[in-house]
Amino acid sequence: MAAPRVEMYTKWGCSYCAAAKALFNKKGVAFEEHDITMGGPKRAEMLERVPGARTVPQVLIDNEALGGFDEVNALNRAGKLDPLLGL
């Protein structure tokens, strides 16, 4: 079974982004980081993929938007994140 594709839209200096990255790093899960600090095409891509997104990070697993750090951390605390990650 292939590992799920984990993506994260982030901005420089964002403490919630740092916390989300630390959570995935602690689990040993690789992720693709899309930096939208300066806006541009990646920000437009994020808004297309996650309509209504106003904050970062925005975390997607296999193209399913999970939300930001609070939502991902809540899934983790409930034991629901590891199955999504194939752990």
For 6-85, CATH number out of 3.40.50.2000, 3.30.450.190, 3.40.50.720, 3.40.30.10 equals: 3.40.30.10
pLDDT of 3 reads 86
Give the tens place of pLDDT for each residue, 25-63: 999 999 999 999 999 999 999 999 999 999 999 999 999
Question: Where do the domains of the chain lie?
Answer: 6-85
Alpha carbon distance 77, 74 (integer Å): 5
Residue with the bigger pLDDT between 36 and 2: it is 36
CA distances from 14 to 6, 35, 75 (A): 19, 11, 21
